[in-house]
Amino acid sequence: MSKPATTREPADRHRRRRAAEESPAAQDATAAPGADDEPLSQPTAPTDAPPATAQAASAPEAPPDRAAPRTWPDEADPKRKKVPEGLWMRCVACGEMLFRKALEDNLHVCTNDKCQHHYRISASQRVQQLCDPGTFEPMDEHLVSADPLHFTDLKPYPERLKSEIERTGRNEAVTTGSGYIHGRRVMLAVLDLTFMMGSMGSVVGEKITRAIERATEQDWPLIIVCSSGGARMQESTLSLMQMAKTSAALAQFDDAGGLYISVLTDPTTGGVTASFAMLGDVILAEPGALIGFAGPRVIQQTIRQDLPDGFQRAEFLKKTGFVDRVVKRAELRREISRIIDYGGK
Ligand SMILES: [Zn+2]
């Protein structure tokens, strides 16, 4: 999601700058550089970081004279892009410059010890992080949403689905399958924010229900890693019914003596929170994850009171009893396998 945004911004910047150059106002020596500086610093802020390198790259081309900005978009930009997009990024939480590769090696957790911001990751990254290498076998990957309501928002739902499928290379917002975690066989379901914000439509509900039923049959522990914007608007009531469906399947799983570990990650909201996310025998959460039903702003406007510090964050929910344990990403595998052993599964 961030990628298309960053690639679009520079284009806008160019357009704006070109427009500025063409307009007579741009000839004003003081106005032009000022106007240039601002749009620049913003888009590059995430990458600005290795300030030395970024400036070194731009400095040789830019400084000679004031006319330089005109050639800037064509000549200097490729170099600028190279430094920012690839190697470095600025942490959204602490503002430190992070070496991207180090962040990836650290399971996408900020490498600044004082910060340790847990970045959102895709379902495939999560599966890779949790499962023993090469053990994950996906299920029901072919399922695709239908459009019985003929829903149209800005564009028809089937079109939206098609473009999401093309963009993400996946058919729906959840990955389910079996795998091993530290040698323990598990049924795993992982929601994916990259596909329509991990929203729960009929296919998400169906895949999760099938995963629960398979876990019931096989007597495997069930792990669901939640991250979702909630129910899928485009499927209206059909998506709300997934709350009942998944909950009913979990009740049967529970009757059969199954162990269900729910892992809440940033953000877990709406209908997902109101159903399977909160039904775990053990509920784990990643540090700092936003977990709630309605968003804080909506609640604040409704009750007209200031909300307490850390409201709807994992640590707050642990204090109030909704979450059993806040577990760092690096310790999730070990924690899950320990709970499985403890549950005798
Ligand atoms: Zn950080």
Percent of the chain with pLDDT over 70: 75
Asked if pLDDT for residue 21 goes beyond 90, the answer is: no
Contact in structure between 44 and 37 (CB atoms under 8 Å): no
Indicate the average pLDDT of the chain: 83
Tens digits of residue pLDDT in 205-224: 999 999 999 999 999 999 99
* Ligand 1 centroid – CA 112 distance (Å): 5
Q: Tell me: do 128 and 69 sit in the same domain.
A: no
Q: Which amino acid is at 51?
A: P
Please check whether residue 116 lies inside any domain of the structure: no
Please name the residues in contact with 213: beta carbons below 8 A apart, sequence gap of 6 or more: 249, 252, 253
pLDDT at 112 over 70: yes
β-strands 88-90, 282-285 pairing = unpaired
Residue corresponding to tokens 């298309």: 4
* pLDDT in the model for residue 84: 53
Work out how many domains the chain is built from and give that number: 2
Angle made by CA atoms 1, 45, 195, in degrees to the nearest 5:
5
Of 251, 275, 268, 270, give the one whose Cα is nearest residue 317.
268
Pick from 65, 90, 115: which residue ends a domain?
90
- pLDDT at 296 (0 to 100): 87
Same-domain status, 184 and 274: yes
- Each residue of 274-321: pLDDT tens digit? 999 999 999 999 999 999 999 888 999 999 999 999 999 999 999 999
Q: Are residues 74 and 128 in the same domain?
A: no
Tell me which residue of 136, 198, 147, 148 sits closest to 172, measured CA to CA: 198
Kindly state whether residues 55 and 171 are assigned to the same domain: no
Cα radius of gyration rounded to whole Å, the chain = 24
Map tokens 């064509």 to a residue: 74
Asked, for residue 275, whether it belongs to a domain, the answer is yes
Query: What is the 313 CA–ligand 1 centroid distance (Å)?
Result: 17
Q: Is residue 113 part of a domain?
A: no
Q: Quick one: 78 and 132 in the same domain? A: no
Q: Averaged over 19-28, what is the pLDDT?
A: 41
| Chosen domain end from 90, 110, 137 | 90
Q: Same domain, yes or no, for 148 and 60? A: no
Residues with CB under 5 A from ligand 1 (ion): 91, 93-94, 110, 112, 115, 117
173 neighbors 196 (Cβ within 8 angstroms): yes
Measure the CA–CA gap between 43 and 225, rounded to whole angstroms: 32
Q: Is the same domain home to 81 and 141?
A: no
Tens digit of each residue's pLDDT (9 = 90 or more) over 115-152? 999 999 999 999 999 999 999 999 999 999 999 999 99
Residue 107 lies in a domain: no
Residue 17 falls within a domain, yes or no? yes
pLDDT at 6 exceeding the cut of 90:
no
Nearest partner of 265 among 229, 295, 307, judged by Cα: 229
Q: Is residue 191 part of a domain?
A: yes
Type of residue numbered 155: K
Same domain, 67 and 138: no
Q: Sheet containing 282-285: which strands, arranged edge to edge?
A: 137-139, 174-181, 184-191, 222-228, 260-268, 282-285, 325-326
pLDDT at 271: 96
**Do the beta carbons of residue 303 and residue 309 sit within 8 Å?**
no
| SS3 of residue 19 by DSSP | helix
The CATH number assigned to the domain holding 242 equals 3.90.226.10
Give the residues across from 200 on adjacent strands.
231
| Whole-Å CA distances, 194 to 190, 198, 243 | 12, 7, 21
1, with CB counted inside 10 A (0-12, 13-18, 19+), is exposed
What distance in angstroms lies between residue 204's CA and the mean position of ligand 1's atoms? Answer: 32
Percent residues over pLDDT 90 in the chain: 74
Q: Answer yes or no: is 163 within a domain.
A: yes
Q: What is the mean pLDDT of residues 16-33?
A: 41
Report pLDDT for 75: 47
Of 90, 112, 135, which closes a domain? 90
**In 3-state terms, what secondary structure has residue 251?**
helix
Q: Are residues 181 and 258 in the same domain?
A: yes
In this structure, is residue 268 part of a structural domain?
Answer: yes
Q: How far is the CA of 113 from the centre of ligand 1 (A)?
A: 8
pLDDT, position 80:
52
CA 102 to ligand 1 center in whole angstroms: 12
What is the 129 CA–ligand 1 centroid distance (Å)?
A: 20
Distance from Cα 107 to the centre of ligand 1, integer Å: 13
CA of 282 to the centre of ligand 1 (A): 28
Task: State the Cα–Cα distance between residues 326 and 307, nearest whole angstrom.
Answer: 21
**164, 232: one domain:** yes
Does 175 share its domain with 282?
yes
Q: Note the pLDDT of residue 344.
A: 86
Please tell me the distance from the alpha carbon of residue 125 to that of residue 162, in angstroms, as a whole number.
Answer: 23
d(CA 175, CA 127): 9
Whether residues 137 and 75 share a domain: the answer is: no
pLDDT tens, residue by residue, 36-83:
333 333 333 344 434 443 343 343 444 444 444 444 444 445 555 555
- Range(s) of the domain holding residue 6: 2-90
Residue 195: what residue type? F
Please report, as a single letter, which amino acid is at residue 17: R
Residue 24 to residue 38: CA distance in whole angstroms: 19
Q: According to the model, what pLDDT value does residue 11 have?
A: 46
Q: How far does the centroid of ligand 1 lie from the alpha carbon of residue 94, in Å?
A: 4
- Ligand 1 centre from 120 Cα, in Å? 13
Any idea which residue has 């399958």 for tokens? 177
